[in-house]
A and B are shown apart, each in its own frame.
Chain A
Amino acid sequence: MGRYVIRRLIQAIPVLLGATLLIFAVVFALPGDPIAALAGEKRGNPVVVALLREQYHLNDPLIVQYGYYISGVFQGNLGRTYANVEVSQIIAAKFQVTVNLAITALVLEAIFGVGLGLWAALRRGKATDSMILASTLILVSVPTLVTGFVLQLLLGVQLRRWTGGVEIFPIAGVSDGWISYVVPGFVLAGTSIAYLTRLTRTSLVENLRADYVRTAVAKGMPRRRVVGRHALRNALIPLITFLGADLGTLMGGAVITESIFNIPGIGQELFRSVHERQQPVVVGIVTILVLVYILANLVVDLLYAVLDPRIRYE
C-alpha cells in the first residue's frame, strides 16, 4: 500500500510539471508589461524598474523563470505578486471559499445523484424511472449560466415575494455561512447530478441482476438489506471514481458559478488576476487546481481497496 502510494505520487510529478509549464508558458505570453503597469500612467523610475525586473527574473528566458518558480513550489512557496504580497496569502482565503462551494456541490451531488439513481433503479421500467431519466437529460442540457440566473430569479425574487421578504436561500455572497453555499452548490453540481443519477442507475441495475443478489433474496434476506448491503455496496465503486474525478472539475468550473452568485473564491480571483496581469497569482491558482485533481484521483484509487476487498495494492 505504502509503496503503491509512493509510486503513484512519483507518476504524478510529470503531470504536475507539464501542466504548470504549459500554464506558465501561456501566462508568459499574456500581453502587457506587469512592471510598467505598477507605475500606472507615469513612466517608472528606470533604476527601480530594472531592479524589479531583476528581482522577478523577468529578464531570463521562459524556461529559467519556470525553473525558479517550480523549485519554489516544491518548497511550498508559490512566489510573490508584483505588489510584493505572498501569493499563498492571497489564495488561502479564496481557496477556502471555493473548497466550501465544491464540497457543498459534491455533497448535494452524492445525495441527489445516488438517491435519484437508486430510486430509478428500484422502479425500473415504471413511470418514476422514465421521469427521472427524462429529467436527467434536461439537467445535463441546461448550462450553469442558465440554471444560475433562473434560480436567482425564482429563489431570490419570487420566493421572497411570497414569504414576505424573508430570505430562505441566500443567492449572493457568502456572509450567511453554509446556507449561502446551497443554491450555488446546486447550480455547480447540476450536470454532475444528472450523470451520477444515470451512472448509479446503470450500475445498480447491473448488480441487482447478479447471482449473489439472487442468492440473498432466495435465502430470505429482507429487501432493504439485499439492496443496501449487497447491491449498493458493489455498485458504489464506479460512483466513487466519478465523484473523485468530479472534485477537480467542480473546482475548475466554479468560475462561472462564483461570478453569478458573487462568491469571492479562486475562480473570481483568477479572473481578476488575469485582467490585472498578476501572473504569479494565475499560475499559483492553476497549480493548486492541478494538485487537487491529482490528489483526488489518488484518493479514489486507494478507496477502491476499501470498498472492494478483491483489489489489493502491493
Chain B
Amino acid sequence: MSDIRPAGPLDPETQQSEALDQVAPATVPDTAQPGVPPSAQPKTKKKDGKPASLWTDAWYDLRRRPLFIGSAIMIFILVVMAIFPQLFTSVNPYDAATCQLIDARTPPSAGHLFGQDNQGCDVFAKTIYGARVSIMVGVTTMIVTALFGGLLGLIAGFRSGATDVILSRTTEIFFAIPLILGALLILVIFGRGNVWTVMLALSVLAWPMTFRIMRASVITAKNQDYVMAARALGAGAGRIMFRHILPNALAPVIVIAMINLGGFIAAEAALSYLGVGIQSPEISWGLMIADARDRFLEAWHPLIFPSIFLSITVLAFIMLGDAVRDALDPKLR
C-alpha cells in the first residue's frame, strides 16, 4: 500500500486539505481522509483486527463523499433508464404511429413534456430511449480498452526488454492518430454503424491510454519489496504477476477507465452526429442532435433536451471517476 501513499509529506495536514479541495471543495466533509495513514483511521479496520486493505479503505472513504453519492445516484437512474425505458415513458418511440408529422416541431406542452421533433415524434420518449446506446457504447468500450490495454500494459511492464519496446512503440503510433478522425475512417469501412462497430472503432484507438497507465503502474509495483520476497519464496511469473503485482497496480487503471467512460459517450454522440455512428431508426442522442440541427433556429427543443441528457451523463461518469480517484490514489491528481 505504501506505493500509493504520498511519499513522506512534510506536513500531512496541509497535504490533506490540499488534496481534498481540488475536487469538490465546498462539499467534501471532514471525515473523508484519503491520504491519512491507516493508523489514523481506526474505523476502517475490520472487526477481526486485520488492517484495512486499499479497497476497503477506498470504499469507506467513497461512501462519505457527496460527489460519489450524487454521481452514483445519477448513474443508477441512467442505467435503469437504459435497461427499462418503458418505466419512464408510456410512448414507444420505435413505433412510427406515435409520430404525428402535422405536429412537427411543436414546443413543449403537458402532453409532450419536451415537445415534438421534425418528424412530430415525442422528444421526451426519444431522449429516454437514447440513454441505452450511450451507456452501452461507453461501458463496453471502457471494459474492452481496460482489459486489452491493461493486459498488454501488465505484460509490457512485467517483461520489459524487447516485448516492452515493441508494445510501447506500437502505442506511440496509435497516440499519433486523432481519436475522432481515426474512428470515423474505421466506421466508414464497416458501412452502416451500430453499437458494436462504434465500440470497436473507439477501442482500437483508445486502448493505448490504459496501456500506458498500467505499464507505469506495474513498473512501480514490480520494484517493491513484497515482489522480491515472493520471488525469493519461489513464486512463478504468473503468480507474481496476477497475485502480487496486478492488485497493487490496478487502482490507477480503474480511475482512468472511469474518467475515459465519459469521453467515450461524448465520442459516440460525435460520431453519430457525423453520420458514421449509430444509424436511424436506432435512437441515439448524437443522432437526435444531428436531426434537429437543420431547423434548430425554428425549434430549439429537439436539440437542447438530448444535449442536456448527454451532458449530464458525461458529467455523472466524470464525477464518479474523480471521486474514485480521490479515494484510491491521492497522488494521481
Q: Point out residues on A near B: beta carbons under 8 Å.
A: 14-16, 18-19, 22-23, 26-27, 29-31, 124-125, 129-130, 133-134, 137-138, 140-146, 149-150, 153, 157, 198, 201-202, 205, 209, 248-249, 251-253, 255-256, 259-260, 267, 270-271, 274-275, 282, 286, 289-290, 293-294
Contact = CB atoms under 8 A, between A and B. Distances in A.
B307 A149 contact: yes
A289 B181 CA distance: 10
- Give me the 9 closest cross-chain CB pairs, A-B, nearest first: A252-B178, A141-B315, A18-B173, A130-B25, A143-B266, A146-B307, A19-B176, A130-B26, A142-B311
A133 B274 contact: no
B173 A125 contact: no
Given A29-B189, A138-B315, A149-B293, A19 B177 contact: yes
B296 A255 contact: no
A137 B314 contact: no
Given A145-B286, A149-B293, A209 B314 contact: no
A22 B173 contact: yes
B270 A31 contact: no
A18 B178 contact: no
B322 A137 contact: yes
A207 to B, nearest CB: 13
Contacts of A19: 173-174, 176-177
Contacts of A141: 262, 311-312, 314-315, 318
A209 B15 CA distance: 10
B277 to A, nearest CB: 12
A274 B22 contact: no
Contact of A15 (B176, B273, B289, B311): B176
B25 A253 contact: no
A274 B188 contact: yes
Nearest to A143: B266
12 contacts: A18-B170, A26-B185, A133-B25, A138-B315, A142-B314, A252-B178, A252-B179, A252-B180, A255-B181, A256-B270, A274-B184, A274-B188
Contacts of A259: 273-274
Interface on chain A toward B: helix, strand, loop, or mixed SS?
helix
B178 A248 contact: yes
A290 B182 CA distance: 11
Contacts of A143: 266, 269-270, 310-311, 314
A125 B21 CA distance: 7
Contacts of A133: 21-25
A149 B303 contact: yes
B297 to A, nearest CB: 6
Q: Which of A142, A209, A248, A294 has the most CB of B within 10 A?
A: A142
Q: Which of A125, A141, A202, A259 has the most CB of B within 10 A?
A: A141
Contacts of A26: 182, 185-186, 189
A218 B100 CA distance: 75
A314 to B, nearest CB: 23
Q: Which of B23, B188, B300, B310 has the most CB of A within 10 A?
A: B188
Contacts of B186: 26
Given A145-B289, A270-B181, A256 B273 contact: yes
B177 A23 contact: yes
A270 B188 CA distance: 12
Contacts of A293: 175-176
